[in-house]
Each structure stands twice: as structure tokens, then as C-alpha cells.
Structure 1
Amino acid sequence: MLPQRAVFWAEEKALILSDLHLGKTAHFRKSGIAVPAGIMQEDLFRLQRLITHYMPERLIIVGDMFHSVENNEVQFFRVWRQQFSNVSFDLVRGNHDIMADEVYEQLQINVHNTFSLRDIHFVHEPDGSRNGFRYTFSGHLHPAFVMQGAGKQRLRLPCFYFGPHCGILPAFGDFTGSASLDPGESDPVFVIAGKSIIRAQ
């Protein structure tokens, strides 16, 4: 697990992440909603540093890589993608990944409804089923966990959640929001606090 909201699977040289929602800020601005510029560029710069550091052969994006239809931020990604032409991008289609198939082909992104590697299964929305696989990774929920201090202060932080059969990844994108989890007492939860990962339970 990485504090940049991703997982690096060293044996497979695979970087795993979810819910970038690229193009969301442009989509909002087009609708007349004031959103600060540069959010997507910062997300891609963070991803660029991860790729440069870990040198993966493959990126597995567990859904919602893009937010909506093609816009100028997608064109920015098209240029950004060229520097990593040797890295395979495998996208598990999420509910927001609605661009035409030929756009993904032009961006050199392999799109799947579900994706499996070894005995690990990747699907965007967690459904609790094992589908014959040992473990499933999903996204979609943008999970967060509420930490409580001795003085009754509360802080909600993005987290990695690992249930008995399914793990849920935090949203990689900064402009995504989050939803608080209510995990079982024995389910491991790891919160992201700045540059650290802390086991919350």
C-alpha cells in the first residue's frame, strides 16, 4: 500500500489504483460550476512520480479512470500518456467510463468489464461475490474512515479496506469526495495520513 493512494504489486510489476475521475474538473467548469484549475494535472504528476519510482510494466485502474465524455482534460492525458508508451494500461470499466471505445484505443488503454491476474479479480463495484477467485479488488466507494481522538475530535481520512473476500481501494483522484465506511470489527482498515499509512483497526 502506498500513501499516494495506490498499491504496488511487486511480483507482477503492477501499479493498482482506482477512481482518478480525469476530466471531472473540466466537466464541472463546462456546467458553470467554479472549480480550481490544475487538480487533474496534480493527480497525473503524482501518478507520474509513482511510475517513475516503481517502474511498473502494467497499470491496473479499477474503474472510473475518466469522469464523463471526452473533453480538453482527456486531450491533456493523451499527451501525458505518450511518455509511458511502454507501460500497459488496463482499465476495468467503471460507471463513469462512458467514452467511445475508439477513444480508449487512441489513448492506448485496454478496457475490460472485469479483469483477473493470477487468482486476483478486479471489478469496479464491490458486490461481495468471490467469482471463484481468492480475492477481489474494487473501488467505486471512495472509502474513508473516521478517526476519533481522546478529546472527542474526529478526522475523516481516505483508507484501504480489506474485507474477508474483497478489498476496496481509496480514490486516487483528489476531486472525488469520500464515503465513510462502517467495517466489521475484524476487517483491517488502513488510513492515509499525509505521507504515512496507519492501521486504524
Structure 2
Amino acid sequence: MIINIKGEELVLSQQRAIYWTSKKMLIISDLHLGKGAHFRKAGIQIPVTLNTADLNKLTALITEFSPDCLLITGDMFHHQMNSEAELFRQWRLQYPLLKIILIKGNHDRLKPEDYSGLGIETYQKELLAAPFRFIHDQPELTDEYYNITGHIHPGVTIYGKARQLMRLPCFYFGKNCAILPAFSVFTGLSKVKAEKGDLFYAITPERVILIDQVK
């Protein structure tokens, strides 16, 4: 799905990512690397393959779009360096020329030397790249920048004619702010409080589809 925001072409990928065409930038949110290992350490059995699946999905996106930059709007790592974060280190070696930028989220607690060792450029609060502000959570105040955020893992419910329903991850675009779906499959879905004119782009198994806007 290709849309236009503030005069810029954005490609909404079925793989839960946005590609900013003019900047050759791939944008994702809430990767939560290491979440499975963090839970397993607490005695909760989570499949190791979840983290590998997310990295494989990221590889497919880089192959498809050939971005110069990968930008993560927060929660790249779920907690601290662990075995799954080490998997990312090995993955990173495949793309030495890829610039990676992280806008820190509430789960990003690695040491500065850990980020630099992985070749990741970090921003504590936000990154301004006109016409967009990249930030983890939606700011209360608005200005001339259009906010692109993550954090809440937006989902939308689709109802069928026979009363069946399906909850799907989605991209949300409001008047002043967009919210990306969580990139990781190991996340829940949250309902977004929408206003008239807001748009939801649901991610189905086949494609990205526009859901009727709030009337």
C-alpha cells in the first residue's frame, strides 16, 4: 500500500514496516529483541524461533527495499543483552553499510557501549527529519512536524457478515500522528482511540488494506 503524507511517499509493507522512498529509509517499531530470552530466564517457556522469525522478516525487507538506513522508533531491545541480542549481533555483520538509528523506548536499557558495539546510533527522545518527527510515544503537543510513533502495538477488529471477527495488527494515521504496528510477532494488540478522519490500514495475511475511516 502506497500513501502520501506531507508530500512524502510512504510504502506500508505487509511485514509491519514503512519504507520512506525519498530517504531510502526503512522504519519499524517495537522489535523487542531478547524478549523471549528474558521470559525464559523467568521460567516462562517461549520458543527461541520467535526471535529468529523477526530477524528473517527484517532480512526479507532489506532484500526487497535495499534501504540506506533502518530506523526503529523505540523498544528495539526488550531488556538487557542476552542470547537473543547476540543473534542480532551476528545478523548485523551481514549489513556493515546499513545505518541503524534507534529512538530509545521504555524497554531500551542497554549500555551505551552495547549500542555502539552493534553499530547503532541512538537518540534519547526524538529525531526530526522534516516533515516528520520520529518518537517512541505520541507527544501531547503538536507542531509543524508529523509524528511517527510506536509503543502501543495498534490493532483493529474486522467483522464478517456471519458475525465472525478478526483482530489484526495495523498502521494508524491520524491528523498529526501515525502509529506503527509492533514489528515483533511476540506482542499483543491495543485499541486506538480514533477520531473522525483517522485511517487504519490493516495487515492481513495477503496484503495491507484500508479500513473504513471513523465517521
TM-score range, shorter chain: over 0.9
Distance change (3 Å), C-alpha of 1:108 and 1:72: same
1:166 maps onto 2:166 in alignment? no
**Of 118, 140, 162, the match for 2:130:** 118
**Of 44, 47, 61, the match for 2:58:** 47
Secondary structure in structure 2 of the residue aligned to 1:75: helix
User: Structure 1 stretch 8-17 or stretch 180-189: which is displaced more?
Assistant: 180-189
Per-residue Cα deviation, 1:37-57 (whole angstroms, up to 9, x for no partner): 210111000101111121100
- Paired with 2:161 and 2:193, the residues of 1 have a C-alpha distance of 20
In the alignment, which residue of structure 2 is the partner of 1:146? 157
Aligned residues: 200
Secondary structure in structure 2 of the residue aligned to 1:50: helix
Secondary structure in structure 1 of the residue aligned to 2:187: coil
In the alignment, which residue of structure 2 is the partner of 1:15? 26
Provide the alpha-carbon RMSD of the alignment: 1.0
In the alignment, which residue of structure 2 is the partner of 1:198? 209
**Of 70, 89, 92, the match for 2:100:** 89
Specify the code of the residue in structure 1 equivalent to 2:70.
L
- Paired with 1:152 and 1:187, the residues of 2 have a C-alpha distance of 25
Distance change (3 Å), C-alpha of 1:155 and 1:185: farther
Secondary structure in structure 1 of the residue aligned to 2:148: strand
User: Structure 1 stretch 145-154 or stretch 101-110: which is displaced more?
Assistant: 145-154
**Of 15, 33, 41, the match for 2:44:** 33
Secondary structure in structure 2 of the residue aligned to 1:84: coil
Report the CA distance between 1:152 and its aligned residue: 1.8
In the alignment, which residue of structure 2 is the partner of 1:182? 193
Structure 2 gaps of 5+ residues are 1-11
Specify the code of the residue in structure 2 equivalent to 1:168.
I
Per-residue Cα deviation, 1:140-199 (whole angstroms, up to 9, x for no partner): 000001111222211110000001000000000010111122322320111000130111
- Paired with 2:139 and 2:145, the residues of 1 have a C-alpha distance of 15
Structure 2 matches for 1:125-136, cutoff 5 A?
Answer: 125-130=137-142, 132-136=143-147
- Paired with 1:67 and 1:55, the residues of 2 have a C-alpha distance of 26
Structure 1 gaps of 5+ residues are none
User: CA contact under 8 A between 1:190 and 1:199: conserved in structure 2?
Assistant: yes
Amino-acid identity (%): 41
- Paired with 1:10 and 1:156, the residues of 2 have a C-alpha distance of 29
Secondary structure in structure 1 of the residue aligned to 2:102: strand
Secondary structure in structure 2 of the residue aligned to 1:190: strand
User: CA contact under 8 A between 2:36 and 2:50: conserved in structure 1?
Assistant: yes
- Paired with 2:162 and 2:118, the residues of 1 have a C-alpha distance of 50
Secondary structure in structure 1 of the residue aligned to 2:101: strand
- Structure 1 runs of 4+ with >6 Å offset: none
Structure 2 matches for 1:61-80, cutoff 5 A?
Answer: 61-80=72-91
- Paired with 1:9 and 1:22, the residues of 2 have a C-alpha distance of 23
Q: Normalization by structure 2: what TM-score?
A: 0.90
Report the CA distance between 1:117 and its aligned residue: 1.4
Q: Normalization by structure 1: what TM-score?
A: 0.96
- Paired with 1:134 and 1:127, the residues of 2 have a C-alpha distance of 11
